[in-house]
């Protein structure tokens, strides 16, 4: 039997795992507004911001700040690297579950 892969500590935190799962469900090339993600996850703006910063530093999410007419809007999307990291993470979880 081979040893299971290590779980990515950036993704493994509960809040960041929820963010990654939600963004992954959007599919490639899709993005969501910061308030939409905040409401969907039931997180505070400050808490979500901290976790998004950590994911952005890892290269897993892309945050784009722009304007809709004169209103600022922030979009969040999973990067290809983030999508791959999430796939690796879920594969590692499956391996752990298969050990039991």
Say what the pLDDT of residue 1 is.
46
User: With contact defined as beta carbons under 8 Å apart, do 34 and 43 qualify?
Assistant: no
CATH class of 9-98: mainly alpha
Query: Cα separations (Å) of 24 from 21, 29, 60, 63, 92?
Result: 5, 10, 11, 15, 16
Question: Taking the chain (100 residues) in consecutive chunks of 10 residues, what is each chunk's mean pLDDT?
Answer: 74 97 93 98 98 98 94 96 97 85
Round to the nearest angstrom and report the end-to-end CA distance of the chain: 12
Say what the pLDDT of residue 32 is.
98
User: Would you kindly state where each structural domain of the chain is located, as residue ranges?
Assistant: 9-98
Task: Please report the beta strands in 9-90, taking only residues with DSSP state E, as ranges in sequence order.
Answer: 32-33, 61-68, 71-78
pTM: 0.90
Please, which residues bridge with residue 100 across strands? none
**CA pair distance 50, 72, nearest whole angstrom:** 19
């Amino acid at each position: 039997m081979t040893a299971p892969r290590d779980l990515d500590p950036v993704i493994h935190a509960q809040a960041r795992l929820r963010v990654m799962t939600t963004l992954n469900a959007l599919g490639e090339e899709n993005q969501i507004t910061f308030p939409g993600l905040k409401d969907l996850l039931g997180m505070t703006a400050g808490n979500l911001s901290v976790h998004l910063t950590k994911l952005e530093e890892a290269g897993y999410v892309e945050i784009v700040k722009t304007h809709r007419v004169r209103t600022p809007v922030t979009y969040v999307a999973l990067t290809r690297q983030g999508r791959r990291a999430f796939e690796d993470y879920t594969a590692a979880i499956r391996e752990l579950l298969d050990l039991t």
